[in-house]
Amino acid sequence: MDKAMLLQRAGVYLQSEKDEAFASEVKQIIAENNDKELEDRFYRNLEFGTGGLRGIIGGGFNRMNTLVVTRATQGLCDYILQQMPGKQLSACIAYDSRRKSVDFAMATALVFAGNGIKAYVFSCLHPTPTLSYAVRQLKADTGVVVTASHNPPMYNGYKAYWNDGSQVVPPHDTGITDKVEAVKTVRTIEKQEALDKGLLVMLGNDIDDAYVTMVKSKLFRPELIRAQAKSVKIVYTPLHGTGAVLFERIMGELGLPVLTVPQQREPDGEFPTVSYPNPEEPAALKMAIELGKKEKADVVMATDPDADRLGIAVPDKAGNFVLVTGNQLGALHLDYILLSLNELGRMPKNPVCIKSIVTTDLQAAIAEKYEVECAECLTGFKWIADLMRRFEREGKTFVYGTEESYGHLIETEVRDKDGISAAALTAEMTLYWRSQGKSLLDRLEDLYREFGFYEEKGLNKYFEGPSGMQIMSDIMENYRCAQPAAFGGIPVVSIRDIKTGFRWNVDGSVRKKLDLPESDVLQWRLADGTLVTVRPSGTEPKIKYYILSKTAVENDDLDAARTASRIKIAAIEADIRKVLG
């Protein structure tokens, strides 16, 4: 895009942006002739991806700002008004601790009100799962949460939800995007007018009370918790986000002692004690683990800023804390849930669990043991919710959903990942295995001995700027033109291309149509059962690789399996890095 076009787009933006701080940024860039920055802010519009709208906060069409947020909301209004004509519509809005989240949330609410749609707004910051829960409880027609999840402080985002509390999927996501792109005028009103007309309602404690009751009802052994709660010690960090109030309340009502990291308890969009507020990152749990060691905690827990993800660390026999990955915690959850349903005689008819296509196959092995269906979906929790809808129509019973990126769901009352309810289940699971003389690490080793040693490695590379998308597209198409014969010296036996919608064996013996929506994802199954996946991110300018290794455990020797697994993963990684440079 040439400079004249960029300046034209910047002019259109400046005519419409009502937030002077964002407008001033753009004016300064133009005045300084900062062509690179001008291009990055205006070469495209910020688009919906797997997680909705997400970007760096600032002025411009390729940034998160008031204009982009209100246009997205107007497009959402136009879409639901078209989809649900003649109905008095309503929406729920929540927000997290990030920069401008409160402003973006209120701007969103006033656009809903300006379109005659009643806007229910949480009166203070709240976790993402409570937004999904509120949409269902209030029978709202849509919902929005303002959050950039675990991204760095310069980011914010906007997730749109449908009337069942799930993030939007096709055809609604593309339908909303089309409406957003067609927006000419944003209809909004002042806050006082919206309040006077009953089109703006600030939510009190009722939703929280119902949510807390629901989470506690999903636990399997309340009597065990009552008897032994005081014997377990939990250290927790909300990473300056939204999780503390509800986490502490639920654990407190269960009688479980919690020590919250004091330096990280208060909401702060600058995330001053961490470089990256993501419980997947070891550095993010550093302060919590230090407190855990000092207090001899049984488990350390962390939720990300919008509290939809949960990460944990647990002490080994020497007292050193070991980080538990999202795949490992998901396997432990599923094992505990199915074991408990089975032991307590509560296994439902037609039970089904759901995992993403880049989540460990250990889940499927555990499900098979209990004769439970394990379904797969695309990356992004909206696809788990989409399958939940389908399974309800088919008479199947959802028991658990998870994805490798630390997302877990144990209830049907929420249709997004829920770090708060996952934490409550993790606390009970810790107590249960202690009552059996085991730690969570002991149980994980039991699973490895039974099903094989599973280990994962993720690789990411960022490609910023207008050329980034093309570079990632070229990487994917180069793979399709010349499929790898092996990774790390292990032959590829089958290929799954979710963009073309087929899976085939390299020897030509099988070619099968996939029951998955189209997505730019390639997967290679290796001869030993290892799975290698590559896909461009839907929310960030990066390409992502997933290595899901499976290694047989021979003669009960887990150490040998670990060593073999890491050598294998290193060799596969070396082949991938040859492509990335």
Spatial separation of the C-alpha atoms in residues 65 and 20, rounded to whole Å: 11
Spatial separation of the C-alpha atoms in residues 545 and 536, rounded to whole Å: 9
Active site (annotated) includes residue 149: yes
Q: Which two tokens stand for residue 236?
A: 């927790």
Q: Which two tokens stand for residue 92?
A: 């729920």
Spatial separation of the C-alpha atoms in residues 436 and 343, rounded to whole Å: 14
Q: Name the burial class of residue 165, with classes exposed (0-12), middle (13-18) and buried (19+) by CB atoms within 10 angstroms of its CB.
A: buried
From the list 90, 149, 166, 549, the catalytic residue is: 149
Contact between residue 523 and residue 489 where contact means Cβ atoms under 8 Å apart: no
Spatial separation of the C-alpha atoms in residues 351 and 371, rounded to whole Å: 9
Look up residue 231 and give its DSSP letter: G
Q: Is the dihedral of CA 112, 114, 116, 121 positive or negative?
A: positive
Secondary element (H or E) of residue 161: strand 155-161
Please state the separation of Cα 30 from the chain's center in Å: 36
Phi, psi of 441 (to 5 degrees): -65, -40
Spatial separation of the C-alpha atoms in residues 503 and 531, rounded to whole Å: 13
- Residue 210's CB is within 10 A of a number of other CB atoms, namely 15
The CA distances from residue 205 to 132, 193, 208, in Å, are 16, 24, 5
The CA distances from residue 187 to 48, 107, 115, 126, 313, in Å, are 21, 11, 6, 26, 48
Secondary element (H or E) of residue 512: strand 511-513
For the annotated catalytic residues, the residue numbers are 149
